[in-house]
Chain A
Amino acid sequence: MTLKLIPRVAVVPVILFVLAILVDSGMPLSAEQGSQRGWFGRGRRDIMSSSTLPIENIPQAGEFIFLRVRFDEAYTSYGGYEWGLDMGWNHDYPRAEQNITMMLEELTNIPVKIDFRGGNILSFSEPEIFDYPFVYISEPGYWVWNDEEVLRLRNYLLKGGFIMVDDMQSDDTEAFYRIMNQAIPNTQFEILDTTHPIFNCFFQITPEDILNQYYRARYNGTPVIYGVYEDNDPGKRLMVVINHNQDIGESWEFANTGYVPVEQANNSYKIGMNYIICSMLH
């Protein structure tokens, strides 16, 4: 049926065009090289290299700088995000970090770098990412990772780094699970319950308190916070938190716009600050 809508003479050029896009974009041709979520998960077929974006980072000066991880991903489209691109990792940038850093400065004693950029952006291909013991990753389900990034992800975590993974639903979580297991084999995602220090190291909060209206409305998803422990031992250091059916960054982004309920915004700040402070306490 589809072919009937296209003149027969145009079939070959269309096929060639599609192949050219696939080759030029450097898209992996095997599933092992990239995310398992699927290349066409959101209907687009091109890959945007995040390394070409004009990003100028804030220099380190002994203060806390919020760091967002960028990565090449299978799905990229134009959209209402920074640089006019919808890349998953840049969702909520920079307003999310602008707001959470201001709240950190206001409510804690952490020496925070306040900047109009909100924070810095680096990928695991860049060695400077090891200068930031706390990093934020948004929607890594579309991450097209390579071996170097996976090795550095492993080293980052085992050296003492902490990752907050956000805006995840089932496909994203499964994809990130595979990334993590390539980095650190046999990694387990453990559900963090209310007794975990992550919910009370600074603010007292429960996973249920941070219900995200969007996920509830769109996926009817119950928010769950997964954690990854060093050696899968809950008695050891927490290395990763994964906000499943949850988008804390979005609540930060819109906290001062009225687009999200006040309670949701407040609770997202609380759990975000708990993540950051807990990462410092190990």
Chain B
Amino acid sequence: MFEFFFKYSAYVYDKGEFVLAAGWPAIIATAVLAAIAIPVILRYSSVRGKSSRLDRSVLVTIRLCVLSIILFLLLQPSLAVSTAVPQENFVGIILDDSQSMQLTDYGDERLAPRSDFIHELFGNENSKLMMELNERFKPRFFRFSDSAERLEDLNELSYSGEQTRVGPALDFAHQELAAVPLSGLIIVTDGADNSIDGLSASLQSLRANSIPVFPVGVGMERFNRDIELTSVEAPTTVLAGSQVSADVVIEHKGFSGETVLLLVEGPDGIVGTQEVELPNQGDSTVVKAQFTTTREGPHLYSFRIAVQDDEMVRNNNQRDILIVVQDRQDKVLYVEGEPTNRTGFLRNFAIDDDPNLMLGVFMRMAENKFWRAGFESAEELAAGFPTTREELFQYKALIVGSFEADFFTTDQRQMIHDFVSQRGGSFLMLGGRNAFGEGGWQNTPVAEILPVELVPPFASAIDPFYVDVFVTPTLFGRTHPVTQMADSLELSLQHWQTLPPLGIVNQVGKVKPGAVSVLEGKTVNDETHVVLAYQRFGRGKALAFTPVNQWYWQMAFEIPLEDLTHETLWQQIFRWLVNEVPGQVTASTVVDRFAPGAPVTVTVGVLDDNFIEINNAAVTAIVTSPSGQTRGLELDWTVDTDGEYIATFIPDEEGFHQIHVWAGRDGKALGEDIAHVEIAKLSTEAFAAERRSALLARLAQETGGRLYSPENVASLPDDLRVSEGGTTVLEVKDLWDLPLIFMLLVALVGTEWSYRKVRGLA
């Protein structure tokens, strides 16, 4: 449409510079306009007859407009554009050879594979597009998927690539054609880039060399009917027996209101099922899938929804994630300011037989009289609460019971703060007469990390504060792993309704902004109290649990003897506390599943005993393949980030690879960690496979190119001519014969004639 009115495409106008080819000075043109306009105005204004003042104003305006346009045309308006010299320039045509090009969603009436578009337009020498390109340029073809290469014959395209990596493809074509005059790069793809590469560096390089990219997008921007498991987020490392809650993002098109079954399959079969009602409003929903990990080791957990009728993509209904179930023993320090029944019930029922937790209890039984239990050695905490960071930071979680703030020194209170923010540990404050505000914790560094506001107590010592609250999960808490008490969310919620009330003696304030309430309690008067809340703080997290008698969910008359509410809740809280708490040495990879042949980069963070990053550590790793073959790696400091070391290797086997990392400094071991990756054929091409116009538009915008679809790709050769890339000459394109101008003149003259006719002035 634009070209119909304006003769050239918008891209040509964008690239060109407007000039008046007549070469008259502007002052002369203005004088000529004035010389014509003034007599016209005077003539019309002096006319007396049937015409009114309004008539004369309308007519003189129309006449002046006509005269102005004619004068403008006499000035010879033109566009000066740099135009590629025919047959002097090259153009790179990069064709997507990935699996997603096999999807059948190209065309209007009868849908065909996306690859058909490539063959119809670029594989046919007689197509108008290729004829024009061949006439003006020297095309060079490339194919790309997970890697890019030159393409001599389009029949070599197999559309079997397991990845779409746009950035490296542009880089490759740019390098291949670096020595020749290059008008631009045409990339034909669905834009479904599923790599971890960034595009910025590639685009910056192209922009710096004035090489525009002309993406041609193919495929539907929105499928008619499809269900996709867009992502699954779950902890990568958990203790054996942990309840895991995975966030599953399900996206659908055309299934509004329908119910589907989400299955979770672990190493021993189905470990969870959940019915999901797909939303009417919006395309995506987030589902919390709950399951329990049992067997030690790295295991794949599959999340899937059965393929429904008429789905456009059938293999995007399943996602696999790698979860490493560890059988380690984590140390938790529990300091309690007074003898209380909850200590015994926690020790005896919650973690008694748990081989993965070591709960060291440090209890003040009386003034200056302490009791210790559960520690590794008789010397551990023999001198009381840790006085050095090194001593405190050996624990993964710290629980503080009814201890007043003044018991701790200023440095110890700061250490508790740093334990969370710097060490990345978990902190839990339990309710009690000396906890929270009642214990004077407000205005201390610990108050900063707590997820609740602390307020000074207003109850008197004679009539202390006490309320019984019936506890239920909040809307957020209903799907949180710690609140799961049954096999399904509904049964779990029903179970919470049956529990007897717990007592609270602390008057805590609101949950802080950024913190989340997981459990809340209601009194018989319907007053709401915080029961369990948490927030991330720095590298770690802090929790607040306000009731004083959680043991009551073990003892209460209403609770059956075989009920496991107390045990389950606290086992899950303990695992929540210790899971994903980092050690001094942490090994990771950017993703945990790689395609065969893809390089695997191991990133290791190294901290000293005070959890401060160190850059002069000796870091080594041993990679063990599924067949037991090992290879050693030396990791180097990245320089960019303190305490970060990397090394890259290319696995030569499929299956699980173990990466065991050690770090030390000055002959002293700092720690070790184990990461796992799986090498397998990935089905990433089936996900997010709709045409990604936003990404393609970015390619064009940032390089000075233009985005095309199959509908408007015909103008590509013309646009490419004025792309300013390669060898160009300056070309002046006339604008005086724009169809729009003639239409405007006809419209003005016609309007004057019609006006005179209507007003009786003709």
- A-side residues, CB < 8 A to B, are 60-62, 107-111, 127-131, 133-134, 152, 155-156, 158-161, 201-202, 237, 276-277, 279-282
Contact = CB atoms under 8 A, between A and B. Distances in A.
Contacts of B337: 109
B523 to A, nearest CB: 14
Interface of B: 337-341, 343-345, 347-349, 363-367, 369, 371, 373, 402, 433, 464, 466, 503-505, 548-549, 551-552, 554-559, 561
A237 B345 CA distance: 11
A109 B365 contact: yes
Given A110-B339, A130-B557, A277 B347 contact: no
A127 B339 CA distance: 25
Contacts, number: 91
A62 B556 contact: no
B503 to A, nearest CB: 5
Given A61-B464, A111-B338, A280-B340, 11 more contacts: A62-B464, A108-B338, A109-B367, A128-B557, A129-B557, A160-B551, A201-B371, A202-B365, A202-B369, A279-B341, A280-B341
B348 A277 contact: no
Contact of B344 (A111, A129, A280): A280
B366 A108 contact: yes
A281 B366 contact: no
B504 to A, nearest CB: 8
Contacts of B503: 60-62
B373 A281 contact: yes
Nearest to B566: A160
Contacts of A130: 555-557
A127 B557 contact: yes
B334 to A, nearest CB: 12
Nearest to B402: A111
Contacts of B373: 281
A2 B558 CA distance: 55
A45 to B, nearest CB: 34
Given A60-B503, A111-B338, A130-B557, A281 B343 contact: yes
A277 to B, nearest CB: 5
Contacts of A282: 343-345, 347-348
Given A61-B503, A62-B433, A155 B556 contact: no
B611 to A, nearest CB: 32
21 contacts: A61-B505, A62-B505, A110-B340, A127-B557, A129-B557, A133-B344, A133-B345, A134-B341, A158-B561, A159-B555, A160-B345, A160-B551, A160-B554, A161-B555, A280-B339, A280-B341, A281-B339, A281-B343, A281-B344, A281-B347, A282-B345
Contact of A160 (B339, B349, B505, B549): B349
A147 to B, nearest CB: 16
A237 B554 CA distance: 15
Contacts of A276: 339
Contacts of A158: 561
B402 to A, nearest CB: 8
Contacts of B338: 108-111
A62 B549 contact: yes
Contacts of B549: 62
Nearest to A155: B561
A133 B367 contact: no
A161 B343 CA distance: 13
B353 to A, nearest CB: 11
B366 A62 contact: no
A40 to B, nearest CB: 35
A160 B366 contact: no
A159 B554 contact: yes
Contacts of A133: 341, 344-345, 551, 555
A134 B433 CA distance: 20
Q: Which 3 A-B pairs have the closest CB atoms?
A: A282-B344, A127-B557, A109-B338
Contact of A61 (B341, B343, B349, B466): B466
Nearest to A129: B557
A127 B500 CA distance: 13
A160 B364 CA distance: 22
A231 B559 CA distance: 21
Contacts of B347: 281-282
Given A130-B557, A160-B554, A280 B343 contact: yes
Contacts of A107: 366
Contacts of A109: 337-339, 364-367
A111 B345 CA distance: 17
A109 B434 CA distance: 11
Nearest to A130: B557
A160 B343 contact: no
Nearest to A128: B557
B639 to A, nearest CB: 53
Contacts of A111: 338, 402, 433
A60 B555 CA distance: 15
Contacts of B504: 62
Nearest to B431: A62
A182 B365 CA distance: 36
